Structure 1
Amino acid sequence: MNNLKDKVALVAGGTRGAGRGIAVELGAAGATVYVTGRTTHGSPSEYNRPETIEETAELVTAAGGVGIPVQVDHLEREQVRALVDRIDRDHGRLDLLVNDIWGGELLVQWETPLWKHDLDAGLRLLRLAIDTHIITSHYALPLLIRRPGGLVVEMTDGTKEYNDDNYRDSFFYDHAKSSVIRLGFAQAHELRAYGCAAVTLTPGWLRSELMLDHYGVREDNWRDAAAREPHFVISETPRYVGRAVAALAVDPDVMRWSGQSVSGGRLAREYGFTDVDGSQPDCWRYLVEVQDAGKPADTTGYR
């Protein structure tokens, strides 16, 4: 599967979670993938997690692509500018930008009203979730629009339909994730004249490294977490949303998705890919029709 050979991608925020899954799947399709983040060997971020951008880049290369780790704080304009300048010098092109920068999990005070939430933590969350995406696109888009067919994927949590109808249990989290959807919509409008697309994409209930640790399970025994949270049975690996991005990247008619907010599950039905276990979880439909409806956990018809 070398559909993306000779294509250059930037996965901004590729240290772990969805970003890592996306980078690896792009590598499996043959792409050269610049993987950015703050955590490197010997230089952890405020998360103090073990995952590093070097590990992600190694996984990209092992999958069949070329992984290039670059330490970048996407709130620092000069670091982002230097990153894009490097990609330009190395390749003279950028075919795919994935804005997956986040870093706000430790800052959210769930089910805490705005006036009680730590204001500094909330405002930093917004900067990490929104400003990073804007800064990165500001510097990267001039390189991306040199060739028609470029694609921007804005990563968020929740589709527009779901977020419009549901409060996400935190003023700051709700605002952050809904704002990213609008970032994708606005970029689609501005990129259209250049023959480039922008799509906002959400994974489902992601079995990220953080989530597995939260439930005290590993990927090989993740179903044990259902004893604590039955609806976890709808969860998916980060590779699933990675396959969604890869499918968009090779679609010659990707402009049909431009400006839309879609889920990995919806794209799986459209393109026919599956998660690594062969299943096809449709998390956002499950959340509405089963979990939010108060029904017992049952994935029949949803994966």
Structure 2
Amino acid sequence: MPRMTMIEAIRDAHAIAMEDDPDVVVMGEDVGYFGGVFRCTAGLQKRFGPSRCFDTPISELGIVGTAVGMAAYGLKPVVEIQFADYMYPGYDQIVSEAARLRYRSAGEFTCPLVIRMPTGGGIFGGQTHSQSPEALFTHVAGLKTVVPSNPSDAKGLLLAAIADPDPVIFLEPKRLYNGPFDGHFDRPSVAWNRIEAGEVAEGRYEIPLGKARVVREGADATLLAYGTMVHVALAAVEESGADVEVIDLRTLLPLDLETVTASVAKTGRCIVLHEATLTSGFGAEVAALVQAECFYALEAPILRVAGWDTPYPHAQEWDYFPGPARVARAIQTVMEG
């Protein structure tokens, strides 16, 4: 199989979806001639024409609102928001229109819309280019939320999201876009340097939304993560020396609770890891579900490892990120519990 970066895999998914279905259109700021700020849509306008891949005004509210109308009409828009931090002006359209369209029309209309957003930090983007707002979407009934951790999953999950009849929020970790980090960061840890281009199957394949992946089997504890933090989890397990099972959630909503609870029932211990701030982060929901479903199997309290409860600290972002050392300490704590 060819090796691709996540950017290349996402671009390939776009091209396959547009080739297979003339109703698929790509829209957003600079996605056409320029190919997107991260080049995820490069070449699509030249290949499919400006009516299938086109630039929009700088108005997230207008972009999402227009896409909702297009979806209701029968098209399948794939929207790129340049950074997840920019989605707030369009959040009302996502919550009040896209998420509710099927319900408010009693099923007469659906909203086959995908909204792609680069998420997370690690590129020195500062407070307005580094946020991880996934919990704002998982709280909203009617939305599905996806966060891939590798190129192969990014392609398969994106193709499944485009084929889905309901709105999907597709969050793409920026630190995973281009493969290995080149060492220019202040404090790159072992985990960042292990991220590489991966094997990606050619042609169409879909990874079902709502299905987690057991990345590493283990017996001592369960470590639940998604996006960039999957790589941090694997590095932390090696550092800890414990036999920890690592699960990549992949889809946050719908959550694959069956895979999660089966693992925790086996290991008796659980750690939830994410990059976003701790308080009211998605990890709190996961911890509550695990507590409710696996209470009698738990041998220790569920631990969460996450970002600080502060606005994104640009100058201290490598302390803000949960790194392998912090996660390894959590593994030690839960093993002693």
Which is strand-richer, 1 or 2? Answer: 2
Which category describes the TM-score, using the shorter chain as reference length?
Answer: 0.3 to 0.5
Which is helix-richer, 1 or 2? Answer: 1
Q: For the pair shown, which has the larger CA radius of gyration, 1 or 2? A: 2
TM-score normalised by L of structure 1: 0.41
